[in-house]
Structure 1
Amino acid sequence: MQLSNNPRVFIRRPIAEDCQTLLSLHRRNQDFHFPWTFPPLDESGCQNYIRRCQNDNFEGLLICCAHHHQIIGVVNLSQIFYRAFQSAYLGYYADAYFAGQGLMAEGLHLAINHAFYTLKLHRLEANIQPDNQKSINLVKRLGFRKEGFSPRYLQLNGKWRDHERWALTTEDWH
């Protein structure tokens, strides 16, 4: 099911049949993602991820090329809270083959629209390691503002890593 589109990319929810494609993307991009993110590298992990996308508090989205429908990136809205908070954490990663073409920015734009207008969230927060300048530049271009620094915020690959906290609210979204 295609959620929304623009001329170059569209987003959709992952389905069970995406498992092997995601696994291939993760394995192929392991060095590109290190040390920023660690997506599952085995079939069981990919299947668990796809099942997790069915939970009410987690929305996984695939960014796909409109021309050939290939998965070029992944966006996750996790720990979705409603009521007075209406917020989620935003995480994402791309296929290195498509890096530098603006496709990830376009896909994230669609995912943010989905978060704010379909899911009716008010705030998105992206926590990014300070040395991940490409990711920081991406959220800046999308209008996120830096809210702070969190030492030893998240454990990745067995190590507690510092993160910068970036956020965007519906009022600031263009």
Structure 2
Amino acid sequence: MHTRLLSAPDAHAIADYFRRNHAHFAPWEPLRPEGFHSLANWQSRIRDIQAEGSQCAWLVLADERHILGHCALSNIVGGPFQACFMGYGIDGQLQGRGLARQMCETALQYAFGTLKLHRVMANYMPANVRSGALLERLGFEREGFARSYLQINGRWEDHVLTAKIAPCD
């Protein structure tokens, strides 16, 4: 098992990962259009991710063809903000085994080390107790509560707003 950045050859595996976990992720994600997780769409999205530089995605893999989890750093902003958002998910059959923590720690090291960001933000729905516990273990602090923050699974949902600030030297 290992963690690494998403790359072009991962299109088949990531499309399969999201198809396998559709029901598991549905309560926590926006409604997706038909074909959102198709091979062709993933090939295009990976090219866009690599070209634009405002996001990157980490994978935890059993082997090169079987993805177990994902962690994305998105909306990466430089200048005086130096921040991004972090989103993640783990295969529904593998929750509670520490894989999400390992993957997110790797992404955070990259965010604070390689990208030299100051802040990583991650928000979660109050009902997603596992996500809240993971963020707390990772050192995220609660910064607020946003009513009707995102449209998830067809409904406007409240979110707990959290952030982790770069470790001081």
Give yes or no for contact 1:14–1:62 (8 Å, CA) kept in 2.
no
1:149-164 matched pairs, under 5 angstroms:
149-164=145-160
Give the superposed CA RMSD. 2.0
Give yes or no for contact 1:88–1:124 (8 Å, CA) kept in 2.
yes
Structure 1, gaps ≥5 residues long: 1-7
Q: Which amino acid aligns with 1:95?
A: D
Residue aligning to 1:109: 105
Residue aligning to 1:93: 89
Deviation per residue, 1:130-174 (Å, 9 max, x gap)? 10111111111101011111111112233222111010001379x
Residue aligning to 2:6: 13
Q: Secondary structure at the match of 1:45?
A: helix
Name which of 156, 160, 165 aligns with 2:161.
Answer: 165
TM-score normalised by the chain length of structure 2: 0.87
Residue aligning to 2:54: 57
Q: Which amino acid aligns with 1:171?
A: P
Deviation per residue, 1:40-98 (Å, 9 max, x gap)? 33233322331232122111222224xx3432111111111111110000011111232
Structure 2, gaps ≥5 residues long: none
Name which of 24, 35, 44 aligns with 1:32.
Answer: 24
Moved over 6 A (4+): none
Deviates more, 1:160-169 or 1:150-159: 150-159
**Percentage identity across paired residues of the two chains:** 34
TM-score normalised by the chain length of structure 1: 0.85
Equivalenced residues, count: 163
Give yes or no for contact 1:9–1:103 (8 Å, CA) kept in 2.
no
Q: Which amino acid aligns with 2:141?
A: R
